[in-house]
Structure 1
């Protein structure tokens, strides 16, 4: 009886966990207008709930009082709505300041009836952001919030007006203030530039990328014949420095150097070899400030080119969001529009000791990254922000991640046991959506679980509500992409090795990290690395077990066939055995019906599977990721730094080498599982357009294989496969391109 109760409790816990991590359909209050018009412009903010804001634009002031020449007027403005206060920048030594700043106050948080705009004079040691006694009151203007007009685009913006300043008793004073006050929504043009009362955004070289050729024996005319590849970003203002050195890896000295400006480098978009050029070498400076010696007879022969025919991956291959070549001349026109509405999050876990969570979202698709405002001190933040991307390939993935802003309230100096130089933005959860799994012009509104995996296990950190729509004006343009190569043509004409791809990806990630570190507000290195899945190719026992079970689930089909054959052989069911024997005789004496029967079965299976096709996007699967069964020791190994932090040099060297090799094995396992799952997805309607194409192909194949004799088909196939190399194509065939674009279960892995 005790065992039975224990089993029931386990079943209930499993059911509860399944419900906690499941994807839930939602019905938000959105207008859901048309996605695109004839000029590709989306309907503004139709995928998010409308939020009303009190907008205050402080333009300028005039005739402000000035005490004396020794005490000039340093005015700034405070906009007060109850406990919320917005402050303009301080304008020094002027009585006619111009601010032109906008403040937005969420209406749902307004609990007062009066808006007060106060002009103050900063004292000698005063701070405009500090409500101290050093700031002198100059005057104010008050507005009744109930009388503020409502403005909804495309209404014209409200014109600012001059208001006479008054004291606390309502007596008119010297000086006037130009402001405009109105009620609006996030569709207002001023929303993006406004200071928000419920949000906060904290402020806050690329290192030299070096590659070394192999060493050769001492010679007056050395020859290397090696390819070294770097990632460079436009504009090409930097120089490539080449140094010839002698010595070993521990001690070496430079013999000659050469600097090549990238602006003078040949740019190519095809496989044509670049020109070989002799470059003059210079003797390096021995002391700081010494001029370089020009008369140096040595030269270096190099082929240098900026290759725009490749696509530089800065993210995991299975989750790529852009496959276009680097050169804009080779890019095809867009095929559609992706719209994302980030509505809100509920049930977020507190991320600090004060039970605070300052959440913001980062979304990435292609080269465009977007970041929402930070909602401070809220476990149920509401963003209601909408973003739009152009889509060039439907077989791509958009990534949305929720972070806790570590730059507020002192930040978090030590997150996850790692010593950091500054505050850390801690991850809350990630969502990935593959565009090919979305039906055209349909709005998907779901609540996605936010799962955070750390050394103590997987934990649900809350849920985020998203609205997604993929719109394409021409279905034919979308279907044509399924027959095209996934990567640009140069990847097949002159393929790169896996080591080159990894090296280029690390370089691209470093450049991306630097770019967003200089942004305002900046994105930390931890945010960029988590968005790009930089640790996905490092060994992990949990991920290895997940890939193994993916392969095992594919082999279950073969196991089932073998089991069925054993049952037929053993005459476990006489009727089944007799029917199977007669089917075998039909195949032997009538082989021409094998292919029509096979394609007919696939056709019927595809049509039958349309009833049970997936109706919602894929999401993180706990069981598929083996996150619910991973031990603490395995997770500590997964989150261990690379190289390892464990002591013992020999143990550390062997351990890191094992992890590096195991990471390669893990990639092979993942690729094998992905290929098998792509075959399964042909009839799963996971990608509705691809399955529809395959079903149409099956229907045509039924007719062709029925009318054309089997021997003729085999003859054509063998002749085509054994055709001379001169009649073959440099790029993959259409069936291979089609299969590579099929979705796999990798989208649901943590």
Structure 2
């Protein structure tokens, strides 16, 4: 699908000044939120640019209402003076590449009588996207921009202090039975209870040869299912587990079942006499407790639920809710000091040796040392991630070889992780260096393939090991920080700040997924990640508008943390029998706890936005209710004053590369542990919740970060633009008022700081009216997801290493070199700027340094006799002087600065 482009060619300009002076003009084009600035032509009267700009026309129907604005500026002393501008309506644009060059009269600017004209060539053209020029398999769909990507506030009515809707359930607690009859004269019964409610049936476990069995089993029947089946009575029937003979039953009318509230006392179980099928009393009694409740009941989490009957038998174990407690993660340090051995038949030949350390799936090794002696010193530290409870040991192997190649193991040892010293408080704990005897494998020798061999008779290694519990190896290194809980139990926990409650209400508008058999279906479930506790909601079978209504809570120790809620499709429901499944991610929502006002319930529908190779897509809406309850104001203040990360992060910070490696190892460990639980959480879901690929290169993310930097600096840019406008004397009244305020501040200088603080205070109060009404969410405009180029998306979703053709890689590499060259130039300019300043006192330019030294001496003497108010007044008035009093050429200070030496001429 072709994309419409607006092409503007800036040709030239003339008559910009009626005084025939030399100018430094440039042209800035603005169209539909996009801008382009030409180069600055220095010291010319009739500039010629011949530069072309291209703008995206996202909506052709809105084109007549859009405006192209071309402004001509004169660059003077790092400020731009407007010479005139041209506005062209989008209705005048034509789709023709043969458009002629037209001259447009400039309007506005400082030269009111100027008859300057700007020559432009403007036309529209249809440009084929990259998917048509070089068609990769992932660029087959057009870019889709979601129309509605803003959270929607809802007004739910919750009951009993809950933040989810109440779902009525009929609870049946089967406690025990007594005095059950024997099967025959020689055998006791193996009783079990079957609870029947229409077509719904729940069964307890068997009690082997027991006349007084105890079950303590709870069954929860959905009122929706009971109403659909028009059930009026419920039956608890006791059968024998061997002969399946009927023993007795208890029948209850649903109209007589009491309603139990969340705050009520539990319903007391009662004994019920068993009756036969004809209604006559028989031997034995059954203790039951029956009540109407909701999912807020304490018995709901451990009860058997009738909703599970909608799934197949093989899929039922995979749809139940689950609370996952993540393993404690430790930072394992292994310092390899030295190695000694007794070698036979080696002579004085050089031997290559290194140490390989393995912890689970993590493999690292030291540098290779080549020496003729059997005494090696490495003094290297290797860092790993270890999960408690420890399943793997620390395997240390020493490998050697007479010539380069694969080394043979000449000694190894396995150290249980439970025996390693633990360090939790800080780095003050001294670590012991220990010598360990290595086990020599049978026939251990290293050879060079020519008959020479190195045989080892005994060897030992000196190492230092410790388990550091003060590094937050799981959450402290990520972009989205979670709640911090240190690994060691001995570490003092931070004060409790509050309680965070999340209600997962439901979702709407979810797209179905095509299965392997061609059928469209969706089995959604949610995963909430916060701290060491992850929760998984129940799976709703084959429903694109699921209703969960599940409530969870977490203790909060730091509000500057993120709760992540992801929505997934349960691939185990249909693929559990084959063992091959993959849970597809539908979208996720991040909630920052510090955005929440304590005590308020936030109920919104959050858009599920996901970035595909074809563009950003809205996958539906996830409805959540949030409530943060503060425990103590004192603890909150202490939390803001406490360390952001544990002490070890500050005493001995890890390198960025090591942080990334440890984070990836931690993610693999957590994914492996969660995949072994019941029900398992697949690896793809864990990596999606952790944003495992967030550090991959992306042109879009680079532009986003650049825009973020410019947004932060916009306040300074705005101030400088205003100050340049004041000192340009375009509005003499404003400029004179600025002079008056400046002189008034000099007279009452003691009020400058209080006035600034009061100004900031009033701005804070003024912005209270515009405070956010809902927590922050994913913004497609900030992420540039609505304007990203398809080729940049394809590059972002490309595999590592790349799977594209050589032509694609060459094109993207050239583009990356172009971007990197501009970044390199900017970094070089910044470095040169600082080097010029530092060279003032280094005598690299003896004449300039001598001049600077004499200037500092004279300035010091002058400042001893001149009041500082006079100096500030002179500097301020000189800076804001009228443009007619300024010289067109750079000042002495500028000329002196730009002649200072820097190190760019020392580069190769």
Whole-angstrom distance in 1 between the partners of 2:596 and 2:536: 23
Question: What residue in structure 2 maps to residue 395 of structure 1?
Answer: 560
Residue number among 127, 130, 154 corresponding to 1:26 in the alignment = 154
Deviation per residue, 1:664-710 (Å, 9 max, x gap): x9xxx9xxxxxxxxxxxxxxxxxxxxxxxxxxxxxxxxxxxxxxx99
Whole-angstrom distance in 2 between the partners of 1:58 and 1:232: 44
2:414 maps to 1:256: no
Whole-angstrom distance in 1 between the partners of 2:773 and 2:463: 56
Give the 5 Å matches for 1:125-274. 142-152=251-261, 153-159=263-269, 161-162=271-272, 164=274, 166-167=276-277, 179-199=288-308, 202-203=316-317, 207-218=360-371, 219-236=373-390, 238-247=392-401, 251-268=406-423, 269-272=425-428, 273-274=430-431
Structure 1 residues 64 and 542, CA, compared in 2 at 3 Å: closer, same or farther?
farther
Residue number among 700, 712, 717 corresponding to 1:542 in the alignment = 700
Whole-angstrom distance in 2 between the partners of 1:599 and 1:263: 56
Whole-angstrom distance in 1 between the partners of 2:64 and 2:247: 72
How many Å apart are 1:534 and its aligned residue?
1.0
How many Å apart are 1:276 and its aligned residue?
1.5
Give the 5 Å matches for 1:12-23. 20-23=148-151
Question: What residue in structure 1 maps to residue 459 of structure 2?
Answer: 298
2:614 maps to 1:486: no
Whole-angstrom distance in 1 between the partners of 2:787 and 2:182: 71
Question: How does the TM-score come out when normalised to structure 2?
Answer: 0.61
Say whether the 8 Å CA contact 2:497–2:639 is kept in structure 1. no
Structure 1 residues 107 and 239, CA, compared in 2 at 3 Å: closer, same or farther?
same
Segment drifting more, 148-157 vs 496-505 = 148-157
How many Å apart are 1:192 and its aligned residue?
0.6
How many Å apart are 1:591 and its aligned residue?
5.2
How many Å apart are 1:484 and its aligned residue?
2.6
Structure 1 residues 588 and 151, CA, compared in 2 at 3 Å: closer, same or farther?
closer
- CA RMSD in angstroms, aligned pairs only: 4.1
Secondary structure in 2 aligned to 1:424?
coil
Structure 1 residues 629 and 286, CA, compared in 2 at 3 Å: closer, same or farther?
farther
Segment drifting more, 172-181 vs 448-457 = 172-181
2:569 maps to 1:404: yes
Question: What residue in structure 2 maps to residue 602 of structure 1?
Answer: 760
How many Å apart are 1:100 and its aligned residue?
3.6
2:633 maps to 1:472: no
Give the 5 Å matches for 1:329-368. 329-352=491-514, 354-368=519-533
Question: What residue in structure 2 maps to residue 321 of structure 1?
Answer: 482
Whole-angstrom distance in 2 between the partners of 1:84 and 1:632: 52
Say whether the 8 Å CA contact 1:202–1:407 is kept in structure 2. no
How many Å apart are 1:137 and its aligned residue?
7.7
Deviation per residue, 1:411-469 (Å, 9 max, x gap): 699xxxxxxx7212222221111111222222222222222333333222222222222
Whole-angstrom distance in 2 between the partners of 1:604 and 1:76: 73
Whole-angstrom distance in 1 between the partners of 2:696 and 2:404: 26
Question: How does the TM-score come out when normalised to structure 1?
Answer: 0.73
Whole-angstrom distance in 1 between the partners of 2:561 and 2:746: 45
Say whether the 8 Å CA contact 1:398–1:435 is kept in structure 2. yes
Whole-angstrom distance in 1 between the partners of 2:511 and 2:868: 63
Question: What residue in structure 2 maps to residue 723 of structure 1?
Answer: none
Secondary structure in 1 aligned to 2:781?
helix
Residue number among 154, 164, 168 corresponding to 1:52 in the alignment = 168
Secondary structure in 2 aligned to 1:229?
strand
Question: What residue in structure 1 maps to residue 432 of structure 2?
Answer: 275
Unaligned runs of 5+ in 1: 34-45, 125-134, 288-294, 414-420, 670-708, 712-750
How many Å apart are 1:632 and its aligned residue?
4.2
Whole-angstrom distance in 1 between the partners of 2:282 and 2:670: 53
Secondary structure in 2 aligned to 1:243?
strand
Deviation per residue, 1:115-157 (Å, 9 max, x gap): 3455667899xxxxxxxxxx98887654432332323353233
Whole-angstrom distance in 2 between the partners of 1:423 and 1:443: 37
Secondary structure in 2 aligned to 1:554?
helix
Residue number among 197, 217, 236 corresponding to 1:101 in the alignment = 217
Residue number among 757, 772, 781 corresponding to 1:614 in the alignment = 772
Unaligned runs of 5+ in 2: 1-58, 68-143, 319-326, 328-358, 445-455, 828-866, 870-908
Whole-angstrom distance in 2 between the partners of 1:9 and 1:178: 77
Structure 1 residues 250 and 589, CA, compared in 2 at 3 Å: closer, same or farther?
farther
Whole-angstrom distance in 2 between the partners of 1:485 and 1:581: 45
Deviation per residue, 1:58-93 (Å, 9 max, x gap): 456675786999x99887655443444444456788
Higher relative contact order (CA closer than 8 Å, sequence separation 6+): 1
Whole-angstrom distance in 2 between the partners of 1:189 and 1:596: 57
Structure 1 residues 80 and 572, CA, compared in 2 at 3 Å: closer, same or farther?
farther
Whole-angstrom distance in 2 between the partners of 1:210 and 1:597: 61
Whole-angstrom distance in 2 between the partners of 1:321 and 1:249: 46
Say whether the 8 Å CA contact 1:324–1:488 is kept in structure 2. no
Say whether the 8 Å CA contact 2:196–2:235 is kept in structure 1. yes
Structure 1 residues 4 and 236, CA, compared in 2 at 3 Å: closer, same or farther?
closer
Q: When the two structures are aligned, how many residues end up with a matched partner? A: 620
Whole-angstrom distance in 2 between the partners of 1:534 and 1:211: 21
How many Å apart are 1:251 and its aligned residue?
2.3
Say whether the 8 Å CA contact 2:499–2:555 is kept in structure 1. yes
How many Å apart are 1:193 and its aligned residue?
0.6
2:473 maps to 1:312: yes
